Amino acid sequence: MSAQSSIAERFPYRIRIQKRLDNPRWLSILSPVVLVIGALIVGGVLLSIVGVSPFVAYSRIFRAAFGTPAGWLRGELYPLSDTTIKATPLLLAGLSVALAFRMQLWNIGAEGQLLIGAWAATGVALKLLSPDTPAFIMIPAMMLAAFLAGGLYGAVPGALKAWLGVNLIITTLMLNYVAAFWNNFFIYGPWSLRGFGLTPKFPRTAWLPRLTEFADQFSILRGLTAHAGILIGLAAAFILWYVLRKSKFGYEIKVIGDNPEAARYAGMNIKRNILLVMLISGGLAGLAGMGEVSGVIHIFQERISPGYGFTAIIVAWLAKLNPWGVVLVAYLFGGLLVGGDEIQPFGIVSMLNGVILFVVVGGELLLRYRVRIERSESVTQSAAAGGGQ
């Protein structure tokens, strides 16, 4: 008791963490920026500990990802094109995660749903439709197959969650591994090109159009391989934003996510909504997989994703589950991936991803709470009598 009071006398301040009553807009815009910068600093410290110069690493990443203004003036747009290529699957998978997380559905299975989407799109392109099918049938058919396959792959754990209460995090995660083995069976087995770990090349009609194909009209586009998948992603972002904001379905997702008890009393069908959200979420991730095989590599092989489905979780969270935010953050992380190819060892990007997410998660306290340093109780009591806020 006496020890306590002596400390209080010598140092009559204490730190209090209070819940914010207001939620100022400047803070919700500023805080992600501050948090990312903070994460880069923490990541930089980690990098120097393992013997990599953070300044060299960061400047290399940035230059590879976005180019330089001088380069843009010379017509060097390929860094932006490359970043767009990586941003495309992150955007679609990020939307997938954001939708599910909005309803507190922890779908960690975007990676597996992406893989299954790629599998289904490949099946349509190589096995189901003949190579002379025109592109305007081929591409939509592949999209539909990828969406449905990814969607069903998300709906199964969704149904287990809705009707049996099975933990969604674990089931979706396990299905990621199952999907990888499933794909490998086809890649090394029935669909394999002479036993190698890849399929034959897709027919041209199954390729998503790329910028370089318009080089005859606009010579600046020559050699740029960004593909139409980004348009699918932007369209999906718009639709999702509209549905979440304007429709009854979007409203129900918000209510169920915020307060499932209230939603139940309001007569909302929670099970049906879980199933539907997981179906759409899986479908969006499936489209991301289709974009990779149909837009980028035009074959089906084992390494189609360096963990897009996992990075998508960080993307969605950093974007505060907002579809337009996902667009922005997907580009940022697309850049990080492009830049990451330039530096060794490979794990640096993955580590930075984790650090960013950590700082963002921990730093959210900044948004919901405020830290105040005030004088200790004995001192403040008299002040409180004067005017408490």
Residues lying near other proteins in the complex (CB under 8 A) are found at 19, 46, 50, 52, 106, 108, 157, 160, 164-167, 169-171, 173-178, 181-182, 184-185, 188-189, 310, 313-314, 317, 344-355, 357-358, 361-362, 364-365, 369
Structure tokens at 198: 């890849």
Which residue, 165 or 387, is less far from other proteins as judged by CB?
165
Please, what is the minimum distance in Å from the beta carbon of residue 112 to other proteins? 10
Q: Would you say 247 or 259 has its CB closer to other proteins? A: 259
Tell the smallest beta-carbon distance from residue 363 to other proteins (Å): 8
Q: How far apart are CA 187 and CA 153, in angstroms?
A: 19
Please report where in the chains the tokens 């140092």 appear, as a residue.
Answer: 11
Taking a C-beta distance cutoff of 8 angstroms, is the pair 106, 169 a contact? yes
For 191-207, letters b (16+ CB in 10 Å) and e give bbeeeeebbeebbebbb
Hey, which bits of the chain come out as E strands?
13-19, 369-375
Q: Which is nearer to other proteins, 200 or 345 (CB)?
A: 345
Closest CA to 333 of 83, 38, 76, 20: 83
**Closer to other proteins by Cβ: residue 10 or 19:** 19
Q: Residue 151 and residue 178: Cα distance in Å, rounded?
A: 16
Q: Least distance to other proteins from the beta carbon of 338, Å?
A: 17
What is the dihedral sign for C-alpha 337, 342, 345, 346? positive
CB burial of residue 37 (10 Å; 0-12, 13-18, 19+): exposed
Residue closer to other proteins, measured from CB, 136 or 181? 181
Assigned token pair, 26:
């400047």
Residue 353 beta carbon to other proteins: minimum distance, rounded to whole angstroms = 5
Give least dist CB 172 to other proteins, A. Answer: 10
Nearer to other proteins, 235 or 365 (CB): 365
We find the least distance from the C-beta atom of residue 165 to other proteins, in angstroms, to be 5
The nearer residue to other proteins, 175 or 277, going by C-beta atoms, is 175
**Least distance from other proteins to the Cβ atom of residue 302, Å:** 11
CA gap 143, 235 in Å, rounded: 13
Which of 123, 38, 160, 120 minimizes the C-alpha distance to 285?
A: 120
Please say which residue, 241 or 310, places its beta carbon nearer to other proteins.
310
Closest separation in Å from C-beta 170 to other proteins: 4
Angle at 349 between CA 348 and CA 352, to 5 degrees: 85
